[in-house]
Homo-oligomer: A and B are copies of this chain.
Amino acid sequence: MAQVNRSGRSKVVVVGAGFGGLSVMKTLGNKSVDVLLVDRNNYHGFWPLLYQVATGGLDSASIAYPIRGLIRPYKNVDFQLGNVTGVDYANKKLIVENSDPIDYDYLVFAAGSAQFYFGNDALAEKTFSMKDVDEAEQIRNQVLTAFEKANHESDPQKRKALMTIAIVGGGPTGVELAGAYAELISHDFRKDFPNLDMKEASVVMIEAMATILLPFSTPGKTEANDLQRSVQSTLEKKGVKIMLSKPVKAVEDGAVLFNDGDTLPAETVIWAAGVRGALLGDKIDIKLQRGARVPVNEFLQLEDHPEVFVIGDMAYLEGFKWGDRTMAYPMLAQVAIQMGKQAAQNIIVLASGSSGGGLTKFSYYDKGSMAVVGRGAAIVTASKPVKIKLGQNALTKIPAWMMWLGVHVMFLEGWRNRWVSIFNWTWNTFNKDRGTRVLTGTRDAKTQKMEISN
């Protein structure tokens, strides 16, 4: 039933329904190939706003759109819910958990990225990460539960640890989270927990390097630039404590241990340091490149398997210009979207019978300021004033906020989500009250047992 498979048509299997995978799907939509989209979730997640779910600003449904709703316009596209565990190149079969292998003529890996723990996987168990809606909800529940426990904890030390949110990593995700948690505490928790002294609460951002937002460094420069300094000072004004040049040695229950011997008591430790290509990369018998990304040729194919393409965060391809350096294309939505389109076009060429001639090399059209706005705005959402400094021209506060809103809403799949999100953002911005700070999914509903994590 599942697999659309009209006789004689090539079958393209796309793994991952992120920005890259959807770009492939849309480019091949209603073309003369059959497409099967495979994802372990049944929704497309708008990850740039995931931190809003982790901080109670948006509910999951607002940033998750059912994949089946997205493929409806395309008669030649089907979806399968499944967890891909490997590939059999010789027989052109994709291995999927709890399912028969899936045949393919052409395969596209677009599974995105995962947290990287620098080989210290114990960190993965002791920290929270934020890679999808479920993880974001886990973090939200952890923070809400920790403050509820603090509310009836008489030991000052324990109480302070419960009220401390440590974020390891000063990249965009860390900045977004730190800013949003600082606001959650100063705006919502102050009113929600009148019996707690919010001076005991703290949001700590931990960065191993000498500056935050390393990806935004000035090419060739090591010291912090204006953008990095302005974001840092804005976060500090919000009450975020920023630790620089402070590498983490280990995380134990209730504490972060540093290389220099210091210790930070914290019941909530979020890992936002280091990202790598999707874990699926480890299971497809390819020697990975830096960042555990899969090396591809300029046509985005695997060198030894021209019928297999890899795109987006998962793919390693050099050619991105940064100052006078050329490096691998960064893990950005824009790169994934453009790679997806290119891979799809090359698949159409091959499916039409070409032996490889007529393929087009990937070339990245850097939307520059637009990308900066999007990315910059993503940073900025955590701290409005910076938005003004970030803008190319002197923007007043409200237009900057609207620009940010506009850029993100444009990307959001599905009008329902757009309007619900606009409503929630506006509500949160003007009422400073996050309505979705509810603890769901924390109990095994069958056994009625609470999972209080400690």
Contact = CB atoms under 8 A, between A and B. Distances in A.
Contact of A60 (B98, B135, B440): B440
Contacts of A443: 40, 134
Nearest to A132: B445
A414 B435 contact: yes
A11 to B, nearest CB: 14
A105 interface: no
Interface string A59-103: 111101110110010010011111100000000000001111000
A450 B148 contact: no
A42 B279 contact: no
Interface in A145-171: 145, 148-154, 159
A151 B435 contact: no
Contacts of A159: 1
A82 B149 CA distance: 9
Contact of A437 (B66, B196, B420): B66
A43 B438 CA distance: 6
A118 interface: no
Contacts of A134: 440-443, 445
A168 B298 CA distance: 58
A192 interface: yes
Interface in A372-428: 414, 416-417, 419-420, 423-424, 427
Contact-residue size bin, chain A (C-beta under 8 Å from the other chain):
35 or more
A75 B195 CA distance: 10
A92 to B, nearest CB: 18
B69 A1 contact: no
Given A138-B445, A433-B416, A83 B450 contact: yes
Nearest to A139: B445
A187 interface: no
A83 B449 contact: yes
A418 to B, nearest CB: 10
A42 B133 contact: no
B98 A452 contact: yes
A288 interface: no
5 contacts: A61-B438, A80-B152, A98-B450, A133-B440, A134-B442
Interface of A: 1-4, 40-43, 59-62, 64-66, 68-69, 72, 75, 78-83, 97-100, 124-125, 129, 131-135, 137-138, 144-145, 148-154, 159, 191-196, 279, 414, 416-417, 419-420, 423-424, 427, 431, 433, 435-443, 445-446, 448-450, 452
